[in-house]
Amino acid sequence: MFDALKNLGNLGELMKNAKAMQDRMKQMQEEMAKRTFSADAGGGMVTATVSGMLELTAIKIDKSRLSDADDTEMLEDLIVAAVRAAQAKAANEMQTEMHKLTGGLGLPPGMLGG
């Protein structure tokens, strides 16, 4: 019973470390929110840009590459593909940054949203 209680002396240190980790995570999320990630589809016909928080911020359509401006279905598909690719880039970067932040803690993958 006493063996289980002897680690309570470290509780203050654990709480201090948890607060520092929380502060670093908040800072990293703020920095990621300021970053942008772009990806294209259709050989550059459509380019999507998202923030580090996966919010779509811009869509560019290169009209010179459109062979049929009336083919809206193809254009819609390219837009979706470009947005997904840009979001994947941002999500991968967030995961990389989260791993850098928590890598030494020995936490299970995904425990802190990474």
- What CATH number corresponds to the domain at position 73? 3.30.1310.10
Rounded CA-CA distance 76/94 in Å is: 27
The answer as to whether 33 is a domain residue is yes
Rounded CA-CA distance 56/78 in Å is: 15
pTM of the predicted protein model? 0.70
The answer as to whether 110 is a domain residue is no
Whole-number percent of the chain with pLDDT over 90: 40
Look at the chain and report how many structural domains it folds into.
1
Each residue of 35-92: pLDDT tens digit? 999 999 999 999 999 999 899 999 999 988 877 777 889 999 999 999 999 999 999 9
Candidates 7, 10, 87; CA nearest to 53 is 87
DSSP, res 55: -
> Which residues are within 8 A (CB) of 22 and not within 5 positions of it... i.e. 6 or more apart?
none
Q: How confident is residue 111, by pLDDT bands cut at 50, 70 and 90?
A: low
